[in-house]
A and B are shown apart, each in its own frame.
Chain A
Amino acid sequence: MTHAAAAPHTSMGLDNRKLAFWAFIGSECLLFGSLISTYLVYKGRSVVGPYPHDVLNIPFTSLSTFDLLMSSLMMVLALAAVQRGDMKWGKIWLFSTALLGTVFLGGQVIEFTDFVHKGLTLQTNLFGCTFFVLTGTHGAHVTVGVLWLFTLWVRALQGKLGPANAMTVEITGLYWHFVDVVWIVIFTVVYLIQ
């Protein structure tokens, strides 16, 4: 564990893992920017239904949004606990974050299944195509985040995660918060602005 404390730094004095991860997040901005652009460009151009107002369930998605926001809070609480060496609460918050991420994914599965039952699939119309690609890509990112969080939690249970590895938790948090901010945009652009 003490080896991890000697974090490698770049010539700028910054942690190289964090620098690389911010560059990765920058590239992800462009990925989601292109998917959101595609959704907006094709918005309102479906020639057959179902249309957004036929299928979108705002109260249900609002709960999913609340769930993801709370998971972001759990994530920063986990980081704060690990940084101060309080691994008991570090484990609890890490597990809570992963659990709330899993709940979000469950909600997305329910939503997608409901849409398919209402006749909206990837091939139905432009709305279905752009909606499923955008929210599906986001869901895939959440899935990766949940797996990452559970892995960290298991490592914490094994005693392999401590204050010396706080940067690992911080980088996981960066990914998780990015997934959250992407959802903030998707919730507004796709669900609320119909």
Chain B
Amino acid sequence: MTDEPLIYTSRGNLPIASLQYAVRWEDAADYLKLVETYTLDGEVVRESAHVYTKRGLLAEPVAESF
């Protein structure tokens, strides 16, 4: 018996081979995002997103002069 790899989806565990896999990148000034999508007959059954923050927030205190 051969074990078929399954993946957790919104429709339960499905054979990964039965799904269409796509990735999308979003490159913005402050972050880089990778979105992974698995679809079954056009329906999105699993979607993950991974954000890499390129840089955070900068706060500059104001010092008054005399």
Do A and B interact with each other, yes or no? no
Q: Which residues of B contact A (CB under 8 A)?
A: none
